[in-house]
Amino acid sequence: MHNRITSKFGLSSSCRTSFPLVAGSLLLVSAMMGCTAHSNRIAVQRWGAMRETLRDGRTEGRVRLTDFEGVDGAMAVGALEGLSGEVLILDGDVWLSRVNDLGVAKTTRGALQHERATLLTAACVTQWQEIPIDKDVPASAIENFLVDAARDAGFDPKDPVPFMVTGTLMDLELHVIAGACPLAASQGQAERTLRQPFRKSFATSSSKLVGFLVEGQEGVLTHHGSKMHTHALVGIDPPIMGHVDRVGIATGCVLYLPEP
C-alpha cells in the first residue's frame, strides 16, 4: 500500500517535515519547545501533553483542525479544545466525536474553521508497509506485539511510531471524553457540571485502529501505564470513533507501519 503526499501546504513529496501552521493556529512551531520528534525519518509532531491537559486543566485550543483537511497521508489522534470530544485524522479526513445532552456520542466527519484541538499527535506518512497478522493478539499482549513488530520493521519504539490496524478487532473498549479526564470521572472526581464520558464496548468489530506507539513518554504522548495512544473508527451505521482503552487484534487483520 503506497500513499503519496500531495499537500496544499507545500509539503515535499516525502512529507518528512513537521506540519507548517497557518496564521490562525495558536501554537507556532518555533515555540513548541521540542515537541517534534523524528521516528526513523517520520516526523511526529505534538501539541499539548497528556499530563498538562488531563491533570493540570490546560485545555486551551492549540491547533486548528482544518489545517489538516485534505492533506493526503495526514494522521493524528487527540482531544478537542476544552476536552469537549475526541479527534481522529486519517488520510486527511477529520473525524470528531462529542457527547450530546443525552449522554450519547455522535461522530461527524469534517471540521469547522473555529474547531481546535488541545491535545494532538500527528504524522504524515508517504508509504506504509503491510504486515499480515496470522494469529489472534489478545488485549493483554497488544503492546508487546506492537513493540516487537516495530523493532522488526527497523524502528526504535523509544521514538513515536505511527501505526494503523484494519480488520476485526476484539474486546474493544473505547470512550469519548466530555469535559473531564475519564479516570477522574470514573473515580467521582469530575466536576458535577461536566458530563461523564461516553463508553462503549464491542466483543468484535470491523474497525480501523489509528495511533502512535512509544516507550517512556507516559504523561506526555500516552497515559500512565501505556505505550500507545490509539483511537478506533468503528464501521457501524452510524460510525463511532473514540479513544481506545482496551483492544485485541483478530487473525486476518493487517498492521500498517511506515516504510523505514
Confidence of residue 49 (pLDDT cuts 50, 70, 90): confident
Contact 83, 53 (CB under 8 A): yes
Query: How many other C-beta atoms can be found within 10 angstroms of the C-beta atom of residue 127?
Result: 15
Dihedral-angle region of residue 101 (phi above 0 means left; psi in -120 to 50 means alpha; beta otherwise)? alpha
Cite the residue boundaries of each domain of the chain with CATH code 3.30.1330.80. Answer: 128-258
Lowest mean pLDDT among 9-13, 46-50, 52-56, 203-207: 9-13
Would the pLDDT of 84 be above 50?
yes
Confidence of residue 41 (pLDDT cuts 50, 70, 90): low
Q: What is the mean pLDDT of residues 118-123?
A: 95
0.85 exceeded by the pTM?
Answer: no
Please say whether the structural domain 29-124 has been given the CATH code 3.30.1330: yes
Confidence of residue 132 (pLDDT cuts 50, 70, 90): very high
Q: What CATH fold (topology level) applies to the domain 128-258?
A: 60s Ribosomal Protein L30; Chain: A; (3.30.1330)
User: In which residue are the cell numbers 501539541 written?
Assistant: 47
Would the pLDDT of 63 be above 50?
yes
Residues 161-171 have pLDDT tens digits of: 999 999 999 99
CA distance readout (Å), 175 to 16, 134, 161, 170, 172: 32, 28, 23, 16, 10
